[in-house]
């Protein structure tokens, strides 16, 4: 049995698998399948200062080896999260991460300030939601704006701060460097890639938002590339995600440069994916004579 | 156990029409806890998303699913061979409010007919079933319903079988003697049924569908706009809050929730400020 534990920004995770924001709500529904301690951590549904209704349906479409979603940050607001969901989640023996989105820098700062006074373990700043006009991606697509929002939030944030990056940019490594220089404790990537499907009979988009975020195995190679590029560019921990479905995917993402992992869409296909990934990861480490999962991170041997 | 991912053996398979298939899946533990009106999330090999399918009936150890081939996923599912294993997340959602000793009218349209069978059976002789189809070749489950319920009325849009026209015509005639309505089918049909139910003050529930991802209420994908008691419109979710909803709560006319735009966390959710 190898040691699967990792430490990200001073926080200990018993394994490197974190449930990705937006796919698991606040954890309650997946608690029916297994104890949430199956996950090293849970990144909660994107939370905003006020309740948000989300986008009109349909919000979901299947795509080749993946899916589009445009849920649009439906959430009950940060107060509700703090009062109703966080106390329960803190009893589940897993790292609790709040995912914060907003329309303005003030929104982000107020939400983070409220969360800083709770016993949440970490905060993940969502500056990459592609599905709402004012959901933060306007902050995530240039180095200047990403640096500015990180700097503003950092002043209000007493918790370890992860910045979740958008892949819908020309140079994700520069954005990672920009948020690192303003005090981010870690980066997580990738959020979904903006995509679209059209019904050829009606000529209407399948999703009412017209566009949605692409996730699932289809985006995995893009995610591996971006995690590798970012790991080469920053010193802070990198949390890799995007289409991880099997334990082999998890190993590959770690080798590319991830210090921890998030899985999301794979849960919809197989709720037991995290259990199987942890088992496979453990076996791989044993078979390769590695005593800790951390020995795998960024061991890629790229061509010159 | 509320729900779990579980394997079932496909023990029998039939094709009911050009596009509709009838699967019988064996899993005693699952059959024992599945309630009328619930649904399952079916894993389709090579597909990312499972397909939500309503339970048509439970026969001892066997779950019966009747589904229509609509796209690639259901086409793949239809190719499953007898003896092969199908993985389900089940049982999911909640079904109709059933009062077996009350006169209950079940109204189904097209592929909305199968989800009513198990529920209608519970009401036996007190069940009146009105099932509507486009034309004669689309008619399914006629014998199953006829054996299980007090009265079965069939309609076809083109008049090629049963009564000509829509289900709402016989429904209106029968409504004065009804205590309750349970309906499943296309949205325009359900909207008209909801209107009639309101007119005659008969409690009415409708089973809805929506594109779905997790199936258990975590991802918030399968939204449906519903009216709260205070008149506020919010998005609820077909998988967890449904698939059955009170017809008077569904926002039939495209009403949408109002975004909350206030700047302080204390403002009440329905207090609007400039946009």
Q: What top-level class would CATH report for the domain B96-206?
A: alpha beta
The architecture that CATH gives domain A6-54+72-194+215-295 is Alpha-Beta Barrel (3.20)
Tell me the CA distances in angstroms from A144 to A115, A126, A140, A229, B136, one per residue in order. Answer: 25, 16, 9, 19, 65
Report the pLDDT averaged over residues A259-263.
98
Residues forming a β-bridge with B236: B224
Same CATH fold, B208-275 and B96-206? Answer: no
**3-class secondary structure per residue, chain B:** CCCEEEEEEEEEEEECCCCEEEEEEECHHHHHHCCCCCEEEECCCCCCCCEEEEEEEEECCEEEEEEECCCHHHHHHHCCCCCCEEEEEEEECECCCCCCCCCEEEEEEHHHCHHHHHHHHHHHHHEEEEEEECCHHHCCCHHHHHHHCCEEEEEECCCCCCEECCCHHHHHHHHHHCCEEEEECCHHHHHHHHHHHHHCCCCEEEECCCCCCCCCCCCCCCEEEEECCCCCEEEEEHHHHCEEEECCCECCCCCCCCCCCCCCCCCCCCCCCCC
Q: Is the pLDDT of residue B232 over 70?
A: yes
**Which of B73, B218, B223 is opposite residue A62, by nearest beta carbon?**
B73
R_g of chain A, CA atoms, integer Å: 18
Q: How do residues B171-202 score in pLDDT, each as one tens digit?
A: 999 999 999 999 999 999 999 999 999 999 99
Name the closest residue on chain A to residue B256, using Cα atoms. Answer: A56
* B4-92 topology per CATH: Elongation Factor Tu (Ef-tu); domain 3 (2.40.30)
Domain positions in chain B are 4-92, 96-206, 208-275
For A173-185, what is the mean pLDDT?
98
Q: For B196-215, how does the pLDDT look when each residue is reduced to its tens digit (9 = 90+)?
A: 999 999 999 999 999 999 99
Among B88, B214, B228, B236, the strongest candidate for a mutation testing the A interface, having the largest count of A CBs within 10 A, is B214
What does the pLDDT look like over A49-84, one tens digit per residue?
Answer: 999 999 999 999 999 999 999 999 999 999 999 999
Instruction: For residues B248-262, give the mean pLDDT.
Output: 84
Q: Where are the domains of chain A?
A: 6-54+72-194+215-295
Structure token pair of residue A41: 């951590």
**What is the tens place of the pLDDT at every residue in A182-234?**
999 999 999 999 999 999 999 999 999 999 999 999 999 999 999 999 999 99
Residue A128 has a pLDDT of: 81
* Confidence grade of residue B1 (pLDDT, cut at 50, 70, 90): low
User: Among A94, A168, A102, which residue's Cα sits nearest to residue A134?
Assistant: A102
Q: How confident is the model at residue B273 (pLDDT cuts 50, 70, 90)?
A: very low
ipTM of the complex: 0.93
Contact assignment for A29 to B225 by CB distance below 8 Å: no
Residues of A in contact with B73 (CB under 8 A): 62
Distance from CA of A24 to the nearest CA of B (A): 5
Query: For the segment B82-97, what is each residue's pLDDT rounded down to a tens digit?
Result: 999 999 999 999 999 9
Q: Residue B163 — pLDDT band, cuts 50, 70, 90?
A: very high
The verdict on whether omega for the bond into residue A292 sits within 30 degrees of 0, i.e. cis, is no
Q: CATH class for domain B208-275?
A: mainly beta
B220·A217 Cβ contact <8 A: no
When pLDDT is averaged across residues B26-51 and rounded to a whole number, the result is 97
């Amino acid at each position: 049995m190898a040691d699967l534990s990792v430490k990200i920004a001073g926080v200990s995770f018993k394994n490197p698998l974190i449930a990705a924001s937006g796919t698991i709500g606040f954890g309650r529904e997946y608690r029916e399948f297994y104890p949430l301690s199956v996950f090293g951590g849970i990144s909660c549904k994107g939370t905003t200062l006020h309740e948000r209704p989300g986008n009109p349906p349909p919000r979901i479409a299947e795509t080749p080896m993946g899916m589009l979603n445009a849920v649009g940050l439906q959430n009950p607001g940060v107060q509700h999260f703090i009062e109703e969901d966080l106390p329960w989640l803190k009893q589940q023996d897993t790292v609790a991460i709040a995912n914060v989105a907003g329309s303005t820098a003030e929104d982000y700062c107020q939400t983070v300030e409220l969360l800083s006074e709770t016993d949440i373990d970490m905060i993940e700043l969502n500056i990459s939601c592609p599905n709402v006009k004012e959901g933060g991606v306007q902050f995530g697509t240039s180095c200047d704006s990403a640096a500015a929002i990180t700097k503003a939030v950092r002043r209000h944030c007493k918790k370890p701060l992860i910045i979740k990056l958008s892949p819908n940019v020309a140079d994700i490594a520069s954005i990672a460097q920009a948020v690192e220089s303003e005090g981010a404790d870690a980066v997580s990537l990738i959020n979904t890639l903006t995509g679209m499907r059209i019904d050829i009979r009606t000529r209407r988009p399948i999703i009412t938002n017209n566009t949605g975020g692409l996730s699932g195995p289809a985006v995995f190679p893009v995610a591996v590339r971006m995690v590798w590029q970012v790991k080469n560019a920053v010193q802070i921990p990198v949390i890799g995600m995007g289409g991880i479905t099997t334990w082999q995917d998890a190993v590959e993402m770690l080798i590319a440069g991830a210090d921890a992992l998030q899985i999301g869409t794979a849960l919809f296909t197989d709720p037991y994916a995290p259990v199987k990934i942890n088992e496979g990861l453990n076996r791989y480490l044993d078979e390769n004579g590695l005593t800790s999962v951390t020995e795998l991170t960024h061991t890629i041997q790229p061509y010159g | 156990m509320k729900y779990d991912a579980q394997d079932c053996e496909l023990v029998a398979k039939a094709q009911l029409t050009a596009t509709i298939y009838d699967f019988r899946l064996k899993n005693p533990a699952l059959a024992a806890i599945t309630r009328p009106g619930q649904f399952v999330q079916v894993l389709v090999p090579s597909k990312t998303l499972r397909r939500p399918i309503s339970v048509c009936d439970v026969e001892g150890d066997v779950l019966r699913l009747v589904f229509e081939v609509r796209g690639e996923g259901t086409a793949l599912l239809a190719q499953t061979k007898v003896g092969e294993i199908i993985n389900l997340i089940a049982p999911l959602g909640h079904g109709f409010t059933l009062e077996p000793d009350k006169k209950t009218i079940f109204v189904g349209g097209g592929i909305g007919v199968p989800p009513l069978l198990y529920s209608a059976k519970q009401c036996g002789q007190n069940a009146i079933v009105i099932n509507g189809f486009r034309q004669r070749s689309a008619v399914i489950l006629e014998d199953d319903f006829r054996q299980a319920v007090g009265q079965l009325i069939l309609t076809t849009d083109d008049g090629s079988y049963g009564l000509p026209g829509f289900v709402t015509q016989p429904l209106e005639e029968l409504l004065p003697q009804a205590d309750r309505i349970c309906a499943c089918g296309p949205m325009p049909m359900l909207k008209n049924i909801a209107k009639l139910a309101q007119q005659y003050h008969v409690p009415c529930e409708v089973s809805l569908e929506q594109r779905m991802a997790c199936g258990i209420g975590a991802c918030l994908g399968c939204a449906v706009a519903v009216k709260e008691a205070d008149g506020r419109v919010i998005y609820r979710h077909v998988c967890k809050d449904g698939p059955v909803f009170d017809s008077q709560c569904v926002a039939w006319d495209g009403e949408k929730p109002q975004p909350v735009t206030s700047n302080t966390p204390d403002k009440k959710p329905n207090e609007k400020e400039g946009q």
